[in-house]
Amino acid sequence: MAEKGVRIEVEGPVAIMTVSRPEKLNAFDIDMLKALASACDTVEANADIRVAILTGEGKGFSAGGDIKAWGGMSANEFGHQWVRFGHRVFDRLATLRMPLIAAMNGHALGGGLELAGAADIRIAESQIRIGMPETSLGMVPGWSGTQRLVKRFGAQIVRRMVLGGEIFSAAEALQNGLTDMVVETGTVVSAAKEYAARIATRGPAALEISKLMLAVANGEDNGAAVEALGSILVAKTGDLKEGVAAFSEKRAAHFTGEW
């Protein structure tokens, strides 16, 4: 199945989402952001999917935001239609219920690294480069480069990329915790599938709840994660069943504290 700009393939319990705009090194425009949000909804709605993989078509993982897509925007349009909307889409990706693996088949710069940063596991091919070059254009990271990336990678390494403009090789990225594994060129999707198969053998409910708990521990999405955990717990109680039944039968509920 496919959305404009994002292709979805399902192999058993694994969904592979491929960002598909190879002529632009998979740089994002508004349509691609919308397609990514829709792809997240599609993958999450499939109860059989336990792990997702995100990769790019062609030689690039993602070159980030397409300058032509935002270069002519007014300040108000840029802040709301581009930055805030893109932020919401990447947040949606980061909060998928299932573990997400970024299969980084090409360079991940700026928004491309923010995209990879939304994943739980990052596997990179040996030839790629990683960095945050926004300040060289007179702009700042806008899709959680100074927020999520700091929480996940640490402030100092992000400072080196954002303030110093440092670009890291795959080996340097691995050494600095920006990626979790480096593999040979052309093998990252197969490596990601192998890792996904490993995850898929584990309890799906435990994986989902563990991901929420890790998000809380890391200071990410605390409110939604805590409420989701609480709601999952309460949904399994006898008291909730009694409350719903009482409402339907138009009578007073008789709660017993049954878990």
Task: Write out the catalytic residue numbers.
Answer: 114, 134
Based on C-alpha coordinates, what's the Rg of the chain?
20
The stretches of the chain forming alpha helices (DSSP H) are: 30-45, 67-70, 75-77, 85-94, 111-117, 148-153, 155-162, 170-175, 188-200, 204-217, 222-235, 238-249
C-alpha 199: how far from chain center? 17
* Helices 30-45, 85-94: inter-axial angle, 10-degree rounding: 30
Q: How many alpha carbons fall within 13 Å on the CB side of residue 58?
A: 14
Which residues are CB-neighbours of 127 under 8 A, at least 6 positions away?
170, 185
**β-pairing, 2-3 with 6-11?**
antiparallel
Burial of 116 (0-12, 13-18, 19+ CB in 10 A): buried
